[in-house]
Structure 1
Amino acid sequence: MALHHSWPMIERDQRFAWGVVHDELPEAFVSADPAHANDVLGAIGTWECDLADNALRWSDAVYDIFDLPRRIALFRPDTLGLYREASRAAMERLRCHAIRHCRGFTLDAEIGTASGARRWMRLIAVPTAIEGKVVRLHGLKQDVTGLYC
């Protein structure tokens, strides 16, 4: 399965529209039926990464997506191995660009959870800058495995 990534755009009604940079979308992703999307989209949670020390702060839903015990202390290097190689490489490229140019990104990434399950996760990242320097990334993570199965 090819990786999908995009820059989020806000529509007039304030919902996210995804300007996806790929021409092979799963059928569920392009479904016009909003009720169908509820059947294939899973848990969504918040996350942040402090760039000073790579400390991660996750909501319970993100721990659940990765099948990790809730509220354990995590640092970015602890979780990188859970991303499949192609997804990790794409995430690293987008992350570097986000930090360098103070830009957000969206990526559908394939992960292997701590319990060995394979999942697809939508990662939305937004930088926070202080005096022009990005100091943290934060955003949302959502289980989108149902879009790919």
Structure 2
Amino acid sequence: MTPLALKHTWPLWEQPRHFELGHVLNCAVTEIIPPASVGALNLHHVGCWECDLSDNALTWSGGVYDLFGLPRDADVSREQAASYYCEDSRAKMESLRAHSIKHQRGFTLDVQISTAANQNRWMRLIAVPVCNGDRAIALHGLKLVI
């Protein structure tokens, strides 16, 4: 069954509303709960992430590695991470990402990914730009299984 696709952008002042789940399921706490095996989802099925826009370097919590079915110590490039998104989901994500950076707006998008073990999974991507003055310098947010 395909979940109802969620796709929208929101102004930065709404960030606390969209990140409430991140406060309830503190990703720093869930990091101490290792998965039983590579690709096994941690207890809360959620992870934090950040992308430095100067070089597209990714920083992921363990939960994001779990979502993609990758070892927690893997060196993952943004290009590699994007390749796990199914084609339609990747196109929507890239479009909203560009809009988010240009207009300094957060976004929420439900996407389908194919994990490293070729398992299809739906994931909610919540992203917000980190701004320095009038320029976005990073994106960060949550990824969770839906």
Which TM class, normalised by the smaller chain length?
0.7 to 0.9
Structure 1 alignment gaps of length 5 or more: 17-40, 145-149
- Structure 1 stretch displaced more, 99-108 or 74-83: 74-83
Provide Cα deviations, 1:67-103, integer angstroms capped at 9, x if missing partner: 0110222221111110001100100110010000000
**Structure 2 counterparts to residues 49-68 of structure 1, below 5 A:** 49-68=51-70
Q: Following the alignment from structure 2 to structure 1, what is the Cα–Cα distance between the partners of residues 130 and 15?
A: 18
- Cα pair 1:3 1:87 within 8 Å, conserved: no
Structure 1 pair 98/11, CA: closer, same or farther in 2 (3 Å)?
Answer: closer
- The residue aligned with 1:137 is 139
Give CA deviations for 1:127-147 in whole Å, capped at 9, x if unaligned.
001121101000000011xxx
Specify the SS of the correspondent of 1:72.
coil
Aligned residues: 119
Q: Check whether the contact 2:9–2:100 (CA below 8 A) recurs between aligned residues.
A: no
- Report 1:1-149 matches (<5 A): 1=2, 3-7=5-9, 15=20, 43-144=45-146
Superposition RMSD in Å: 2.3
Q: 1:74 aligns to what SS in structure 2?
A: coil
Percent identity for Structure 1 against Structure 2: 48
Runs of 4+ in 1 over 6 A off after TM superposition: none
TM superposition score normalised by structure 1: 0.72
Relative to structure 1, the CA distance from residue 98 to residue 10 in structure 2 (aligned partners, 3 Å threshold; closer, same or farther) is: closer
Residue 7 of structure 1, CA deviation: 3.7
Would the alpha carbon gap of residues 10 and 80 (structure 1) be closer, same or farther in structure 2, given more than 3 Å must change? closer
